[in-house]
Amino acid sequence: MSPRFLTALPVYNEESHVLPVLEEVRRHADDVLVVDDGSRDRTPLLLAETEGIEVLTHPVNRGYGAALASAFDYAIAHDYDALVTIDCDGQHQPRLIRPLVQSLYPADGQPVDIVSGSRYLETFANDSIPPADRRRINAEITRELNERLGLHLTDAFCGFKAYRCDALAKLEITEFGYGMPLQLWVQAARSGLRTVEFPVPLIYLEEERSFGGSLDDAVRRRAHYQEIIDRELAACGCQG
Helix (H) or strand (E) holding 161: strand 161-164
Q: Mean pLDDT in the chain?
A: 91
- Cβ(8)–Cβ(92) below 8 Å: no
- From CA 95, how far away is CA 186, in angstroms rounded? 29
How does residue 145 score in pLDDT terms, banded at 50, 70 and 90? Answer: very high
Q: What are the residue ranges of helices labelled H in the chain?
A: 18-28, 43-48, 64-77, 97-103, 132-149, 165-168, 180-190, 218-236
3.20.20.140, 3.30.565.10, 3.90.550.10, 3.20.20.70: which CATH number matches 5-236?
Answer: 3.90.550.10
Question: Over 60: is that where the pLDDT of 103 sits?
Answer: yes
pLDDT in tens, 191-215: 999 999 999 988 766 545 555 555 6
Q: Which residues contact 7 (CB under 8 A, 6 or more apart)?
A: 25, 28, 29, 31, 32, 33, 83, 84, 85, 86, 97
Question: What percent of the chain has a predicted confidence (pLDDT) above 90?
Answer: 78
Domain segments of the chain as ranges: 5-236
Q: Do 28 and 101 form a contact (C-beta atoms < 8 A)?
A: no
Global confidence as pTM:
0.92
Residue 60 has pLDDT above 80, yes or no: yes
* Whole-number pLDDT of residue 207: 47
Question: Each residue of 150-192: pLDDT tens digit?
Answer: 999 999 999 999 999 999 999 999 999 999 999 999 999 999 9
